[in-house]
Structure 1
Amino acid sequence: MTSEMSLRERKKHATRAALSHAAWSLMIEKGLDAATPETIAEAVDVSSRTFRNYFSSREEAILDGLVRRAASLVDAIRARPADEPVWDSLTRILPDVLAGVIGDRDDAAVLMRAVRDNPAMQAQHLVTYQRTGQLLAEVIAERTGTDVERDLAPRLLAAAASLALRTSVELWVEGATGAALPDLVRESLAQLRAGLPLGTAPAA
């Protein structure tokens, strides 16, 4: 019975991943309007009802892969040496792992345009960042011996790190700095760690 349940869960996981991949691919290749629940389901050869058993909306399906990959950030931080300061763990893990989570810049640019132009995508994108922030807060609390439900510090640090990631991705997608995504993340974290120094005021 256990083995049957395990097989069933694996099949459900594979179906969910296939639907999410199809939703993402349709958006990237044909635009957001092409990624409807019906076309996503058709691409995976399942019914629209099956799609709705897994996702409440196309926006959730499109971003589900990003949510699942973001969990790798937390797993990598959790795997760091227990006595390593949490700031060091974040600095060592987030820049390079985030690059793998985000993937191709052209694809990320398509996503950013969809988020900018579609309120439902914008809302779901915000949910994605909030979920990542919650996962970061939980692992930071574990590593610092604090309580994520009661203590301010793990939530503040996670929120700051999440904002650093989001800002770095936006700058990288815009391409104005010419910097690589890992370098932008490292610089963002360094500035936060230093208290966000803005420099001295110019002389009068």
Structure 2
Amino acid sequence: MNDFVEPSVVASRRERNKAATRDAIAHAAFDLLGEVGYEHVTIGMITDRADVSRRTFFNYFSSLDEAFNVRVTDALDRAIEEFDKYPLDQPLMETAISALHVLADQQFLESIALLYAQCEKSPSLTANHYAAWETSSHELTQRLLTRFPHTDPFALSVFSNTVIGASKAAFSAWHDTLGEELTPHDTAVLKEKLTTAMEIVKDGFPTIVSVSHAKGH
């Protein structure tokens, strides 16, 4: 009987197991965040619920804050991956709007709403949350450099940082409109705010008027 297994199959299985462990830790962390609040969650509580060791936790996450923010990181990664699904000749801002709409996912929105509420209690959680958006700016730049190798890297960097910054502003404005529970209307509102943010960027901030211009000078 031949028990030989292709190395690629073994590697693939190992990667799936690692991803499952990471997800289990992240789910445990986020569930506890919602149940007991940021200030009461400990690494020990997370590892007990995920049925992993403390060492395993730190194999995947450097801190509690990073584990709490993993859903944001994963969602932003998914949005960036969406860029590759659109044709190269499509206007870049249209691609950005389409790609960012994948963030209007109910599970992710529930996560982001909870995180924004918890961030009000913790400067370190807020810093890690903002770092996730900052990292996505860099990753988007790298993805665009691959898609448009003959384009000015600085211009692509400016575009990436502007798009991600505008998206973060849209999420902040969206969070301010939320009630006690998320509804389908809230999802529609987020899509509208993301689209509006991109259109403001594309049109050169037409609603910003200088004082002298507003007075007709």
1:202 maps to 2:206: no
1:63 maps to 2:75: no
> Per-residue displacement from partner, 1:12-68 (whole Å, max 9, x unpaired)?
111011101111111122211233211111111112222122211111111112212
Looking at structure 2, the residues matched to 203 and 5 of structure 1 have their Cα atoms a distance apart, in angstroms, of 68
Matches within 5 A, 1:23-42: 23-42=29-48
TM-score, normalised on structure 1?
A: 0.87
Q: Which has the larger radius of gyration?
A: 2
1:136 maps to 2:140: yes
Check conservation: 1:86, 1:140, Cα contact below 8 A: no
Identity among equivalent positions (%) equals 26
**Alignment counterpart, residue 13 of structure 2, candidates 7, 15, 25:** 7
Looking at structure 2, the residues matched to 102 and 186 of structure 1 have their Cα atoms a distance apart, in angstroms, of 20
Q: Who is 1:104 aligned against?
A: 109
**Alignment counterpart, residue 131 of structure 2, candidates 109, 112, 127:** 127
Q: Who is 2:157 aligned against?
A: 155
Q: Who is 2:182 aligned against?
A: none
Looking at structure 1, the residues matched to 128 and 73 of structure 2 have their Cα atoms a distance apart, in angstroms, of 11
Check conservation: 1:69, 1:101, Cα contact below 8 A: no
Looking at structure 2, the residues matched to 146 and 100 of structure 1 have their Cα atoms a distance apart, in angstroms, of 34
Gaps of 5+ in 1: none
Amino acid at match of 2:38: L
Amino acid at match of 2:105: G
Amino acid at match of 1:14: A
Change (3 A) 1:181 1:57: same
Aligned pairs, number: 199
TM-score, normalised on structure 2?
A: 0.82
Looking at structure 2, the residues matched to 53 and 136 of structure 1 have their Cα atoms a distance apart, in angstroms, of 26
Check conservation: 2:80, 2:99, Cα contact below 8 A: no
Check conservation: 1:66, 1:102, Cα contact below 8 A: no
Q: Who is 1:54 aligned against?
A: 60
Shift of 1:188: 0.7
